[in-house]
Amino acid sequence: MILTVTLNTALDITYRVRSLRPHASHRVSEVTERPGGKGVNVARVLAALGHEVTVTGLTGGATGRVVQEKLAAVPGVVDALVPLSGATRRTVAVVDERTGDTTQLNEPGPTVTPTEWSAFQEAYETLLASASMVALCGSLPPGVPVGAYAGLIRTARSFGLPVLLDTSGEPLRRGVAARPDIIKPNADELAELTGSHDPLRATQDARRRGAGAVVASLGPEGLLAATREGRWRATPPTPTRGNPTGAGDAVVAGLLSAWTDHLPWPARLTRAIALSTATVLAPVAGEFDRGTYEELLGLVTVANETSAA
């Protein structure tokens, strides 16, 4: 079982409008609500690929109840979320149908009490006993210690489990020092972590700081990976327009899926790129068409990156 952790779960709300204009009133053509937060999105993709996956994290209030109701309708995903007294946040994506661009509004999330944080840690440790791999994903809600991911990584490693970390800022910096097996920053997060805007140099620096492997998302340019086995650059077949919401989470799901299938790094990156691209092309954010994904698997380019870092 793959365990995904989303400390700051969300109800993802997507509005589609004909054309988004500042200072104007808009008629919404379609509204979609989905259980969200990065780890929840990752779990949804993993389940669609046929993996056993359990979601844990924190949720509460009326919004949290909606999240859990909708999560119960996702085939293959087990809900092990821990209750909060505060209300789960909402995120709002506004899709401009004319340009295809998406504007995102993210609430900060509820304040977590020390008692609630302790309860989560106990539940997390119980779940690790039946897990094969752990993904720690997303932002930290108010009240959760900034070093939370570092502690969760050390706990998972005490069970002998590989860990993927996908976060940013100070939680990422502290988490890397706990030696996760994989981190998946985007280019800006990687530059903030290392101080370098050269992605190749930055991925190597992040490995020196403690990450076993670094897979950096470079947007339309694909992925850059620095690992113990080597360095690779993976690129999608063509520039893709669509809704990028959930594309980074599809990358994480692809990496987890390929890791559990014991694939070599080039094949892991191929799976991650194909899933991400298929997600961007899908009409509903965070979904993917299986046929499109399988077609893209044969079109992704993965090349050795031999330049010195």
Rounded distance between C-alpha atoms, residue 227 and residue 225, angstroms: 6
Q: Which of 79, 249, 261, 289 is catalytic?
A: 249
Helix axes 247-260, 265-281, angle to 10 degrees: 150
| Nearest to 143, CA basis, from 107, 172, 118, 168 | 118
Query: Do strands 163-166 and 133-137 pair parallel, antiparallel, or not at all (unpaired)?
Result: parallel
Alpha-carbon distance values, 204 to 100, 136, 162, 163 (Å): 35, 21, 20, 19
**249 has catalytic annotation:** yes
Rounded distance between C-alpha atoms, residue 151 and residue 179, angstroms: 11
Amino acid at position 22, single letter:
P
- Give the number of other Cβ atoms within 10 Å of residue 16's Cβ: 19
Q: Which residues are catalytic?
A: 249
